[in-house]
């Protein structure tokens, strides 16, 4: 909860407003309290929307819908006034986290807990359907966990089951990943109670496994899979999987009703008490409940009240950080005054620590261990270099956590690092999906997290206070590779006219982003008639698909997928006698592709957001130190990891030397607002979401069982690539 803003009211009807719970497209949700001490969530519409008759009608419909639902597992309406100048709605306040928050921070629920959750939500949906309504947005964010059981909330897009609606007939309403096929295809007349049952099954699969049954990624791809693919229920026990399979039937008429689901999930013990929840979730509920009980009265606010003056901040000095690199002061200097966890020395904080830790969460034993080990080594060398400085204000050690590229292990690793109060910042994770899984954990802990290899654009799709993506996103890398294909080969008198693009869905989010950008650039931007192919994860015979592409007349081949399928494609292309350009993205850069493809790997050009330290003069001392420590030249991402750790160490030192006590609140913001000149290049970030501001893709060519640096991928002048 955040405090009230100067323009917020201090009271609405009989509710004294204590703070903001959130804001969205309809308006602002406040925490309110009655004179008798009861808490409520008070939703108030935005003033510029209340004059819209359609909007007011939708709000009135929400109130009517919520009032018609009677269930102990649905949050009841306490009061409402749809006809007020700014319509408002008050519901009972549930202090617990949402299911989405709980799973992200603490992992999936135990099987029994998931069944009790499912039974309660199914009963709530049965009440919704008995009232003649369809919820249409059943998702983890709309299920709150309380000490006495879960609660279904948010009837904002519920509608009568007879199909009457105020939205367009072809509008997709709801949350992708939890939409039934009839919702995904906007088949309005078919949307009904079975659609909610489908969404409930998706929610339960997520609660048990932490995964969505139809995956994640771009909306179009996700909706396509929902309509056409079978669900992934791996990790769900047989009994529950059988029920979920029935609920996820493509034909709405074949799904059980919500009441039937509740009956099949019924337990001997009703969902009272907390035995059905993991202890970590129970602690979160208890802590939030205690904070609500301790809330003080809030003085009334008035529109136009001035913002409080910022606290004075000492003048900041520039710091010459380890490795001979300069970290310039950024625009966020005022944020150094108070770091959330330890406070300010002037406010009576404990003495400054003499020892801190930098965390590294990486894949050290899984499918991307080649990259993860290099990242851990680069980070370790940065910490060791700092500890040799005679003027260091504290000592550092490295706290390494191996997530093995597994999302469940990644959550456990993130929680261990977040709970370690010596850890000031974290490098990680190696992979896209492990990074996506752990973001809520680090966000909740306000612990800075920087990745040098996870390039999904979904990681930066929302504002963040802790995350930094120190590499270009996959769509940016793909756009540069398309530019290379368009211009470089034209200079070599091999202009491309019919490029083939294969999207391998075994790595679906990455492959979708990469293929979509390649097809867009080559087709819409450069006017080529691409020959795209999408290969489902269940297809193991890439040779047949590749032969079809060659027979169709492709004159270049771009692979959007992982190393394993790229190796199969390379062998098939070699067998077919294809001699056109062969290109791929960062998933292919590594020993796995070279070993699996053999001689067929030769000539492949790979674009990846990683530089070669041997080509960077500033990296020579680092490369020498790496060779001395590990007996060989540094591998991919070691240098970038050294830079990432050096950035965060530099800001820790700045805080201590300026009299502050390092904490977790402002470190990420300070790094994002500065500019850093490292051994591998210059870094600067877009402060709101933590994206790298600028491109940094390099090209490598496979030759004789290794990848040789070719050139930095050109943004404008491809002439220098030809010279390389």
For residues 699-705, give the mean pLDDT.
95
Sign of the dihedral through C-alpha 221, 222, 226, 230? positive
Query: Whole-prediction pTM value?
Result: 0.58
For residues 107-134, give the mean pLDDT.
91
Rounded to the nearest 5 percent, the helix, strand and coil shares of the chain are 40, 20, 40
137 counts as catalytic: yes
CATH 3.40.50.300 fits 99-288, yes or no: no
Of 376, 378, 382, 374, nearest in space to 325 by CA: 382
Phi first, then psi, for residue 553 (nearest 5°) are 95, 25
Quote the tokens at residue 112: 């029994």
pLDDT at 332: 24
Q: Is the pLDDT of residue 312 over 70?
A: no
Q: Is the pLDDT of residue 181 over 90?
A: yes
For residue 579, say if its preceding peptide bond is cis, omega within 30 degrees of 0. Answer: no
Q: Report the phi/psi class of residue 297: left, alpha or beta, with left for phi > 0 and alpha for psi in -120 to 50.
A: beta
Read off the pLDDT band of 316 (50, 70, 90).
Answer: very low
Residue 147 has what DSSP assignment?
T
What distances in angstroms separate CA 492 from CA 289, 484, 488, 557, 577, one per listed residue? 68, 12, 7, 17, 20
Better-scored residue on pLDDT, 176 or 243: 243
Quote the tokens at residue 294: 């301790």
pLDDT digit string, tens, across residues 404-414: 999 989 999 99
Distance CA 446, CA 470 (A): 18
* Whole-number average pLDDT of the chain: 82
pLDDT at 349: 34
Burial 514-544 (b: 16+ CB within 10 A, else e): bbbbbbbbbbeebebebbbbbbeeeeeebee
How many Cβ atoms are within 10 Å of 48's Cβ, its own excluded?
A: 8
Same fold, 11-93 and 99-288: no
Domain segments of the chain: what residues? 11-93, 99-288, 320-470+616-693, 475-608+700-723
Distance CA 258, CA 267 (A): 16
Of 628, 625, 667, 614, nearest in space to 644 by CA: 667
| Whether the Cβ atoms of residue 714 and residue 491 lie closer than 8 Å to each other | no
pLDDT at 166: 37
Of 239-243, 279-283, 492-496, 503-507, highest mean pLDDT: 239-243
Quote the tokens at residue 457: 């654009």
pLDDT at 303: 37
Better-scored residue on pLDDT, 222 or 580: 580
Distance CA 129, CA 126 (A): 5
pLDDT at 655: 77
Distance CA 139, CA 141 (A): 5
pLDDT at 47: 60
Better-scored residue on pLDDT, 320 or 667: 667
Better-scored residue on pLDDT, 296 or 408: 408
For residues 678-700, give the mean pLDDT.
88
pLDDT digit string, tens, across residues 233-282: 999 998 899 999 999 999 999 999 999 999 999 764 444 555 678 888 88
pLDDT at 579: 92
Q: Which CATH class is domain 320-470+616-693?
A: alpha beta
Q: Is the pLDDT of residue 144 over 80?
A: yes
Q: Is the pLDDT of residue 435 over 90?
A: yes
Q: How many helices (H) and strands (E) does the chain have?
A: 21, 27
Q: Which residues contact 430 (CB under 8 A, 6 or more apart)?
A: 362, 363, 368, 371, 372, 375, 403, 405, 453, 454
Given 8, 137, 643, 712, the catalytic residue:
137
Read off the pLDDT band of 353 (50, 70, 90).
Answer: low
| Whether the Cβ atoms of residue 530 and residue 482 lie closer than 8 Å to each other | no
pLDDT digit string, tens, across residues 9-60: 888 988 899 888 877 656 788 999 887 778 888 988 766 566 677 777 777 8
pLDDT digit string, tens, across residues 454-488: 999 889 888 888 899 999 999 999 999 998 888 77
pLDDT at 293: 60
pLDDT at 381: 97
pLDDT digit string, tens, across residues 437-460: 999 899 888 899 999 999 998 898
pLDDT digit string, tens, across residues 636-687: 999 999 999 999 999 888 877 766 555 666 788 888 888 899 999 999 998 8
pLDDT at 720: 43
Terminal CA-CA length for the chain:
55
- Domain covering 11-93 in this structure, CATH number: 3.30.200.20
- Domain covering 475-608+700-723 in this structure, CATH number: 3.40.50.2300
Q: Is the pLDDT of residue 433 over 80?
A: yes
How large a percentage of the chain has pLDDT more than 70? Answer: 82
- CA torsion, points 360, 636, 328, 338, in degrees to nearest 10? -10
How many Cβ atoms are within 10 Å of 125's Cβ, its own excluded?
A: 29
Helical pair 99-106 and 279-293, crossing angle rounded to 10 deg: 130
Distance CA 327, CA 386 (A): 14
For residues 5-10, give the mean pLDDT.
82
pLDDT at 221: 78
pLDDT digit string, tens, across residues 161-171: 544 443 433 44
């Amino acid at each position: 909860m955040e405090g009230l803003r100067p323009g917020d009211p201090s009271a609405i009807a009989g509710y004294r407003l204590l703070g903001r719970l959130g804001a969205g497209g309809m308006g602002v949700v406040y925490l309110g309290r009655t004179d008798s001490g009861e808490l409520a969530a008070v939703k108030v519409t935005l003033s510029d929307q209340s004059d819209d008759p359609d909007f007011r009608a939708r709000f009135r419909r929400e109130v009517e819908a919520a009032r018609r639902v009677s269930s102990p597992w649905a949050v009841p309406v306490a009061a409402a006034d749809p006809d007020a100048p700014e319509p408002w709605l008050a519901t009972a306040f549930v202090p617990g986290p949402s299911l989405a928050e709980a799973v992200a921070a603490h992992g999936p629920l135990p099987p029994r807990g998931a069944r009790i959750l499912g039974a309660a939500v199914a009963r709530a949906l049965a009440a919704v359907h008995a009232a003649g309504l369809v919820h249409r947005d059943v998702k983890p964010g709309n299920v709150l966990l309380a000490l006495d059981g879960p609660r279904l909330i948010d009837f904002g897009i519920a509608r009568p089951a007879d199909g009457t609606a105020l939205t367009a007939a072809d509008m997709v309403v709801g949350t992708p990943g939890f939409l039934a096929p009839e919702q995904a295809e906007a088949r309005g007349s078919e949307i009904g109670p079975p659609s909610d049952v489908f969404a409930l099954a998706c929610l339960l699969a997520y609660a048990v496994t932490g995964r969505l049954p139809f995956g994640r990624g771009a909306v179009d791809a996700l909706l396509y899979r929902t309509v056409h693919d079978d669900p992934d229920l791996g990790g769900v026990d047989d009994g529950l999987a059988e029920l979920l399979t029935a609920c996820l039937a493509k034909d709405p008429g074949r799904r059980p009703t919500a009441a039937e689901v509740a009956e099949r999930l019924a337990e001997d013990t009703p969902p009272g008490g907390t035995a059905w929840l993991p202890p970590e979730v129970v602690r979160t509920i208890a802590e939030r409940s205690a904070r609500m009980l301790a809330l003080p009265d809030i003085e009334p606010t008035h529109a136009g009240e001035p913002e409080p003056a910022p606290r004075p901040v000492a003048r900041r000095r520039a710091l010459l950080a380890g490795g001979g690199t300069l970290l310039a002061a950024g625009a966020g200097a005022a944020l150094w005054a108070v770091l959330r966890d330890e406070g300010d020395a002037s406010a009576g904080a404990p003495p400054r620590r003499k020892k801190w830790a930098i965390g590294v969460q990486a894949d050290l034993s899984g499918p991307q261990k080649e990259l993860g080990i290099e990242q851990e080594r680069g980070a370790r060398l940065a910490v060791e270099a700092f500890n040799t400085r005679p003027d260091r204000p504290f000592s550092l050690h490295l706290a390494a956590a191996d997530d093995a590229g597994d999302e469940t292990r990644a959550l456990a690793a993130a929680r261990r690092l977040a709970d370690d109060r010596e850890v000031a910042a974290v490098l990680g994770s190696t992979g896209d999906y492990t990074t996506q899984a752990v973001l809520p954990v680090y966000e909740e802990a306000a612990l800075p997290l920087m990745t040098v290899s996870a390039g999904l654009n979904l990681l930066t799709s929302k504002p963040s206070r802790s995350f930094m993506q120190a590499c270009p996103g996959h769509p940016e890398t793909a756009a540069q590779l398309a530019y290379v294909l368009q211009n470089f080969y034209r200079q070599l008198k091999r202009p491309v006219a019919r490029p083939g693009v294969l999207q391998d869905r075994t790595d679906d989010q990455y492959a979708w982003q990469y293929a979509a950008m390649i097809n867009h650039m080559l087709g819409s931007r450069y006017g080529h008639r691409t020959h795209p192919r999408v290969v489902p994860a269940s297809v193991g015979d890439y040779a047949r698909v590749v032969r079809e592409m060659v027979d169709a007349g492709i004159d270049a081949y771009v692979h959007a997928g992982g190393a394993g399928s790229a190796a199969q494609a390379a062998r098939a292309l070699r067998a077919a006698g294809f001699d056109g350009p062969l290109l791929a993205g960062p998933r292919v850069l590594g020993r796995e592709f070279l070993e699996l493809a053999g001689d067929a790997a030769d000539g492949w050009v790979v674009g990846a957001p990683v530089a070669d330290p041997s080509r960077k003069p500033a990296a020579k001392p680092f490369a020498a130190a790496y060779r001395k420590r590990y007996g060989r030249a540094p591998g991919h991402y070691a240098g970038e990891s050294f830079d990432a750790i050096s950035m965060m160490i530099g800001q820790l030192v700045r805080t201590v030397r300026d009299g502050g006590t390092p904490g977790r609140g402002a470190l990420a913001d300070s790094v994002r607002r500065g500019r850093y000149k490292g051994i591998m290049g210059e870094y600067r970030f877009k402060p709101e979401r933590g994206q790298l501001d600028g491109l940094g893709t390099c090209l490598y060519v496979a030759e004789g069982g290794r990848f040789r640096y070719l050139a930095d991928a050109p943004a404008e002048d491809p002439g220098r690539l030809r010279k390389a």
